[in-house]
Structure 1
Amino acid sequence: MRRSLLFVPASLLFVACASDSGVNTEDTVAFTIKSADVTLQPGEESTKCFYFHTPNTEILRVHKWVSDMTPGSHHMIYFSSLGGTQPPDGTVDDCEAAGQPLPVYGAQTPHHEADFPLDDVGVQLAQVVVPNAAGYFQMHYVNATDEPLVASVELSAYALPPEQTFTRTDLFGTYNADISIPAHATNYKVSATCGVTPGAKFWSMSTHAHKQAVSTEVRDGTQMLFKSADWEHPGSTEWRAPEFFEFKNQITWECTYDNIGSNANNVIRAGQSARTNEMCMATGYYFPAAGPRGCVMSGGDCQCFL
């Protein structure tokens, strides 16, 4: 069960928006990784994994990510491999060999820039990438055209100078594995509540769901933090110094669904497919971080991990 807990809640964390960090950083690419091409047949939906090692020979403090996805790409996620054991670099598969992943970055728009802000004392936030880190892209493709489509993704990392002081930030995500939307249901609400690490300061918060969702929201107790009526492009709530957000209560995330489209005759459950499954997630960035953190609601119980 541990593998699923690590894999699923991290699967969509797309909240860092392009921003001016206000810090004098060198806007120089530390490395760029491009996936192998994948050919999709008309109407095909597929999730593929592309394996690699990062080319850096020293620890990087990444303050900015820039990704580009070709047409046919629904989303991409960069995972670091927890065990470090994976297929040879350049391998593309159906993610059977993905192992235990840790999320690093994700995007669901063709071009996306995640430029991290300063913390509450004016220090640059950054994620840590160790040398020669084993990792992979999880790439969700959908070919809605009548012709074969060749798809790929590309990710560039921008790092701080080695001598520059930084505060570590990382991803936070929740996942509800208990989703079960009845056939033909309308205004069907699914919610879950979990604890949040004391002292965690959030600078971004959003949600992720699939096409049956008509509303998503995140709350601190009864206080609304984020709400969206657009499942594809939900947007985000952002905080900047000196005011970051700290939870006073537990985090509650809720999604409302109408099962009236192509899946109307089926019970829709939690899963990876944007075509036949659903998700309900709160996603964000926090600091100070020791690494990515996630919480999973499964069987009515909440489990959180670092």
Structure 2
Amino acid sequence: MRTTTSLIALLGAVALFGCSSSEPGPGPETPEDQGLEPPAEGAGVQYRMVSTIEPGQEVERCQLFVAPPEGLNISREVVRFSSGSHHVLLYATPYTEIPTETQRGVTLDATQVHDCSDGPQADWEVTGVVAGSQSPDGNSFLGELPEGVALKVAPGTVLLMNTHYLNASSAPLETDARINLYTIADEEVKVEAGMLFHYNPFISVPPRGESSARMRCTTDEDISVVRIQSHMHRRGVGYVAHKVDLDGKMTELYAHDKWEGVPSQEFSPFLEVKAGEALDYRCDFKNTEDRDIAQGLTTKDEMCMLIGPYFPRSKAYENCRTNEGFDASTWFGSGKTTCAEAFSCINSVTPGDDAAFYGCIVNTCEKVGPHFSEALNCQTSGAYGACDEDCGQSAEACNTCILAACAPEMDACEAATCD
């Protein structure tokens, strides 16, 4: 039951997932439903993407920009885009200059608009969300932050702008997406903000069936959440987020049934999440196709996310990780299998069958969620780094080390039941 190589290989694929200017780039005239002038000089920058979508085409496109040499202290964001788009996003990347080759080895000029229909993360590495919206006329991710609070972008950071458009008409669709980032001076920044980017990698929906994906993340620091928003694809039929208090009490924060035109939940006063408390969210899916739907980066796949600005910044909590960079998520299934049965299921999955692999987690019962998550996180992190040297030698040495180091977590898993 305790073979870990396939777990590491499968989860390793689950990742987050030109120059900047205040002048708009070349492109079509601004659509009537989308006009957005750039910020005044010295008050911020505008990033803009324009492209043509052919009739019947559904496509994600990307373009890379470089943040100004002085960096950005973003206090407010406004997003507008022409109709037909599911989302417009601006990601931060680890790059300090624009790459000339994608992660898949394709050479291209990334300063120009280019297709990224397998999801932007398939071609480019991203570290988090800076700005964006799933609604063409508002409800942006960052919105407006309190006075003295700003989301910081380091000087020269490469930013990735991403759009997702569907042209259901019989004529070409001219698209125009713009993101305005309004900034404040260094001396005005009292507190650095961050953007929650909680991503549940375990989604599996059977043909003509239904399922749920639920994830919880506990913070080690006191934070104030400004607003939250969901992200799902078209099989998403329900979403709910809760705050979990120290005593385990769950308070509903946000619930809706939309996968596009997604509302945001504003908090006034801000939502205070104390150290030891958690945010817990669930996506409900309904599959109308005759194939399995799994988690993935494309529109053929599904996603389940919680996104929103907060302060002060906790770099680890943004992506639900430990300070050492290991996954700190707790996943809850909506099925009836035990923790031990889930690992047995995982070890029987054919490599590459993502839907079956994720289904092993989704089909667990709620009660064993913490036990399963602790055992899985231990295994997939190489016992939180303790087995790095062994894993650098061979798969056999890696497995032997992990099985020994994660024995307490696996023993607790085997003892956990659904009763």
Which runs of no fewer than 5 residues in structure 2 stay unpaired?
A: 1-8, 18-39, 101-108, 245-249, 321-328, 332-357, 362-372, 382-419
What amino acid maps onto 2:111 in structure 1? Answer: G
**Alignment partner, residue 341 of structure 2:** none
Q: Distance in 1 between matches of 2:85 and 2:64?
A: 17
- CA gap of 1:271–1:63, structure 2 versus 1, over 3 A, is same
Q: TM-score, normalised by structure 2?
A: 0.59
Runs of 4+ in 1 over 4 A off after TM superposition: 1-6, 296-304
- CA gap of 1:138–1:101, structure 2 versus 1, over 3 A, is farther
Q: Which has the higher helix share?
A: 2
Question: Which of the numbers 24, 35, 46 marks the counterpart of 2:59?
Answer: 46
The CA deviation string for residues 234-256 of structure 1, in whole angstroms up to 9 with x for no partner, is: 42322234x53215533321122
What amino acid maps onto 1:108 in structure 2? Answer: Q
**Counterpart check, 1:206 vs 2:206:** no
What amino acid maps onto 2:45 in structure 1? Answer: F
Q: TM-score, normalised by structure 1?
A: 0.78
**Counterpart check, 1:140 vs 2:152:** no
**Alignment partner, residue 242 of structure 2:** 219
What amino acid maps onto 1:148 in structure 2? Answer: P
Does the 8 Å contact 1:84/1:133 carry over to 2? yes
**Alignment partner, residue 90 of structure 1:** 111
- CA gap of 1:180–1:208, structure 2 versus 1, over 3 A, is same
Percent identical: 20
Does the 8 Å contact 2:55/2:170 carry over to 1? yes
**Alignment partner, residue 76 of structure 1:** 88
Does the 8 Å contact 2:221/2:314 carry over to 1? no
**Counterpart check, 1:279 vs 2:300:** no
**Alignment partner, residue 104 of structure 1:** 130
Mean alpha-carbon deviation: is it higher for 282-291 or for 172-181? 282-291
Q: Distance in 1 between matches of 2:196 and 2:233?
A: 19
Question: Which of the numbers 190, 199, 206 marks the counterpart of 1:166?
Answer: 190
Which is bigger in relative contact order (C-alpha 8 A, separation at least 6)? 1
Using the TM superposition, give the Cα deviation of residue 147 of structure 1 relative to its aligned residue in structure 2, in angstroms. 1.3
**Counterpart check, 1:245 vs 2:281:** no
- CA gap of 1:256–1:110, structure 2 versus 1, over 3 A, is same
Does the 8 Å contact 1:61/1:128 carry over to 2? yes
Using the TM superposition, give the Cα deviation of residue 229 of structure 1 relative to its aligned residue in structure 2, in angstroms. 1.9
- CA gap of 1:3–1:33, structure 2 versus 1, over 3 A, is farther
Q: Distance in 1 between matches of 2:125 and 2:308?
A: 23
Q: Distance in 1 between matches of 2:95 and 2:159?
A: 10
- CA gap of 1:46–1:92, structure 2 versus 1, over 3 A, is same
Rg larger for: 2
**Alignment partner, residue 17 of structure 1:** none
Q: Distance in 1 between matches of 2:208 and 2:143?
A: 41
Mean alpha-carbon deviation: is it higher for 168-177 or for 64-73? 64-73
Using the TM superposition, give the Cα deviation of residue 39 of structure 1 relative to its aligned residue in structure 2, in angstroms. 2.1
The CA deviation string for residues 134-167 of structure 1, in whole angstroms up to 9 with x for no partner, is: 1121221211211121223222221113432431
Does the 8 Å contact 1:59/1:131 carry over to 2? yes
Q: Distance in 2 between matches of 1:4 and 1:286?
A: 28
**Counterpart check, 1:59 vs 2:71:** yes
Does the 8 Å contact 1:193/1:252 carry over to 2? yes
Q: Distance in 1 between matches of 2:165 and 2:60?
A: 6
Q: Distance in 2 between matches of 1:3 and 1:97?
A: 15
Using the TM superposition, give the Cα deviation of residue 180 of structure 1 relative to its aligned residue in structure 2, in angstroms. 0.6
Does the 8 Å contact 1:117/1:240 carry over to 2? no
- CA gap of 1:257–1:190, structure 2 versus 1, over 3 A, is same
**Counterpart check, 1:180 vs 2:204:** yes
What amino acid maps onto 2:76 in structure 1? Answer: K
**Alignment partner, residue 368 of structure 2:** none
**C-alpha RMSD of matched pairs (Å):** 2.9
